[in-house]
Structure 1
């Protein structure tokens, strides 16, 4: 198991795109998430992403960070379900965990619909 605690890399999650400023969802996906996810997949391992201990998340950060894996990077949804777990241990972050998992599911639905 590979563990990624977002708070160790992103002190305050930013907006959607790199142009929106530091610690954007796009930056997180490209610089932090994808390299670790690729490592997990190549080793038939699981990347566990811990959402806890940041001030909060905007939907745009989560959508770009996680949904972008399917929309832009063309990861296979079933492979993501096997190799990526987005978790929180604090009640404060439970909604972000749900949103992150819903973002992945919705990105797959949009991809399947050809939109």
Structure 2
């Protein structure tokens, strides 16, 4: 199983929506980390997202752009993305972020982002 440890592989302070918001934004995570990892998956392989290692929390703008953005740019449908992702955390408080990510993905419309693929 492929994995992304957000705090170790990306940033211990993920924040913001767009690249203009800085190098720790949701758009940077999606385009430079998440989509490249998703492209490496074969068949029914899943991608594990480790949410709580060196990360204190997430803002909704980061989560929407990072995860729902995959659907909005037309890379995958919400159903395909939800099928590919699993989440891991040892801090029970991070269950909230997993639920929000799944909610944002489920509500996203394929190809609804400006300049979608």
Q: What TM bracket, shorter-length normalisation?
A: 0.7 to 0.9
Map of 1:6 onto structure 2: 6
Deviations 1:10-65 (A, max 9, x none): 1210100010112000000000111101111x353110111113021100000000
Q: TM-score, normalised by structure 2?
A: 0.83
Secondary structure of the structure 2 residue equivalent to 1:38: helix
Report the alpha carbon displacement of residue 109 of structure 1 after superposing the two structures with TM: 8.6
Aligned partners of 1:87, 1:109: CA distance in 2, in Å? 26
Q: Which has a greater percent of helix? A: 1
Secondary structure of the structure 2 residue equivalent to 1:98: helix
Deviation beyond 3 Å, 4+ runs, structure 1: 108-111
- Count of matched residue positions in the alignment of Structure 1 and Structure 2: 110
Aligned partners of 1:58, 1:66: CA distance in 2, in Å? 12
Map of 2:105 onto structure 1: 104
Q: TM-score, normalised by structure 1?
A: 0.85
1:5–1:74 CA distance, 2 compared to 1 (3 A): same
Map of 2:22 onto structure 1: 21
1:71–1:109 CA distance, 2 compared to 1 (3 A): closer
| Unmatched segments (≥5 aa) in structure 2 | 113-117
* CA RMSD between the two structures: 1.9
